[in-house]
């Protein structure tokens, strides 16, 4: 077998739009309250994009520039782009090509879009890892970016979902690593499509007789995210510990070996449940949902970048990323930093 390489995250970065939307702000446009949102989700505020300033792709580019600088690399070093989002700029083409245009200019590289919602970043990272491990590429740019705010039902009817989601972007550079002691140790990916409709935006769908009708817009059901909240919650609290333990066990490690767990930020109650059930101290689990809400594919790279900035990740640390969301999909990545 040909020599396999190891891949590391040589740089991480994030970008969030300037506009802060507090729970108080939302309670002025729908029947909700700061108390309800904080108690049920832990969210205090989230960011909403500014039209004309932020796009899904350019927020990813802004996060990527930070990650590149921290990696000591330039856009010229990037050989492949993997872009995870559920809120792309266009129905097609994917946002990855827009990143290629904005970041790389004349240099043409492959750009792949990943559609695995809250698990999107870990899925994207696993793709990058395979390309780097095999020696195909030395540096792959991985982005998770979302604009939820234009796709939410901002009336009382949609409050169960619209108070949760926020906009933002995060990025990582996955690079070839010569040091045997470091790297992405493993990734584990799962899906269970029988639950596809439990958390979904169904319209405009290609399999309908009419892709987008006036009725769809007037009824405003399928065009906004639907979430069977309690149901998703129950699956999440099972799958998160399961996929984290799968990562640890496949590397002969246990929860006590973990220096930092970076879970997808879906709900503070879910994060607290994982932390307690895995017996992890508070300082070993990242939580920033109070500031950004749930930014789906962007949530893990934003949390990772903030944790790195705060000095919570040092060389040699064992870091686990874990996600669960629409699909259902769930995934983990274990990294020796």
Applying CB under 6 A, which residues contact ligand UT7?
A: 32, 36-37, 40-41, 118, 159-160, 163-164, 229-230, 232-233, 236, 266-267, 270, 294, 325
For 235, the enclosing helix (H) or strand (E) is helix 229-250
320 is catalytic: no
Report the alpha-carbon distance of residue 327 to residue 329 in Å, rounded: 5
Active-site entry in 48, 139, 235, 264? 264
Residue (110 or 160) nearer to ligand UT7, CB? 160
Among residues 291, 297, 288, which one has the least CA distance to residue 60?
Answer: 297
Structural contact between residues 187 and 129, judged by C-beta atoms closer than 8 angstroms: yes
Q: Of the residues 118, 148, 177, 267, which is catalytic?
A: 118
Strand-strand pairing, 329-336 and 318-325:
antiparallel
Rounded least distance, CB 195 to ligand UT7, Å: 11
Q: Is residue 118 flagged as an active site residue?
A: yes
Read off φ and ψ for residue 247, nearest 5 degrees: -65, -45
- Minimal distance in Å, beta carbon 301 to ligand UT7? 15
Using CB positions, name the residue nearest to ligand UT7: 229
- Spatial contact of 133 and 72, defined as CB atoms under 8 Å apart: no
How big is the CA angle at 269 (ends 47 and 221), to the nearest 5 degrees? Answer: 60
To the nearest whole angstrom, how small is the minimum distance from the Cβ of residue 173 to ligand UT7?
Answer: 25
For residue 264, indicate whether it is catalytic: yes
Closest to ligand UT7 by CB, 216 vs 297, is 297
**Residue 27, H or E segment:** helix 23-27
- Residue with smaller CB distance to ligand UT7, 103 or 118: 118
Whether the CB-CB separation of 158 and 121 falls below 8 Å is answered with: no
| Angle between helical axes of 229-250 and 268-277 (0-180°, round to 10) | 40
Residue 267 CB neighbours (<10 A): 22
Q: Which residue's CB is nearer to ligand UT7, number 5 or number 233?
A: 233
Q: Which is nearer to ligand UT7, 61 or 323 (CB)?
A: 323
Active site residues: 118, 264, 294
């Amino acid at each position: 077998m040909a020599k396999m390489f190891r891949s590391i995250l040589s740089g991480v970065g994030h970008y969030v739009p300037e506009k802060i939307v507090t729970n108080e702000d939302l309670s002025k446009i729908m029947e909700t309250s700061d108390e309800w949102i904080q108690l049920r989700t832990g969210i205090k505020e989230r960011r909403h994009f500014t039209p004309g300033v932020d796009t899904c792709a350019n927020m990813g580019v802004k996060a990527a520039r930070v990650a590149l600088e921290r990696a000591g690399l330039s856009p010229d070093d990037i050989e492949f782009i993997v872009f995870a989002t559920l809120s792309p700029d266009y129905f097609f083409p994917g946002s990855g090509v827009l990143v290629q245009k904005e970041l790389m200019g004349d240099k043409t590289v492959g750009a792949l879009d990943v559609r695995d919602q809250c698990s999107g970043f870990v899925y994207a990272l696993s793709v990058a890892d395979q390309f780097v491990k095999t020696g195909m590429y030395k540096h792959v740019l991985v982005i998770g970016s979302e604009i939820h705010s234009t796709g939410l039902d901002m009336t009382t009817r949609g409050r169960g979902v619209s108070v949760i989601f926020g906009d933002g972007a995060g990025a990582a550079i996955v690079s070839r690593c010569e040091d045997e002691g470091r790297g992405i140790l493993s990734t584990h990916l799962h899906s269970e499509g029988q639950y596809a409709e439990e958390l979904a935006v169904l319209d405009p769908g290609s399999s309908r007789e009419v892709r987008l009708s006036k009725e769809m817009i007037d009824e405003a059901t399928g065009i906004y995210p639907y979430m069977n909240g309690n149901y998703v919650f129950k699956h999440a609290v099972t799958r998160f510990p399961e996929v984290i333990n799968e990562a640890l066990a496949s590397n002969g490690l246990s929860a006590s070996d973990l220096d930092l767990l970076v879970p997808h930020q879906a709900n503070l109650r879910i994060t607290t449940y994982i932390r307690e059930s895995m017996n992890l101290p508070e300082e070993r689990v990242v939580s920033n949902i109070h500031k950004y809400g749930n930014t789906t594919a962007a949530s893990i790279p934003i949390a990772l970048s903030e944790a790195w900035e705060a000095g919570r990740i040092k060389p040699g640390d064992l870091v686990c990323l874990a996600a669960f969301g629409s699909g259902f999909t769930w995934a983990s990545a274990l990294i020796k930093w």
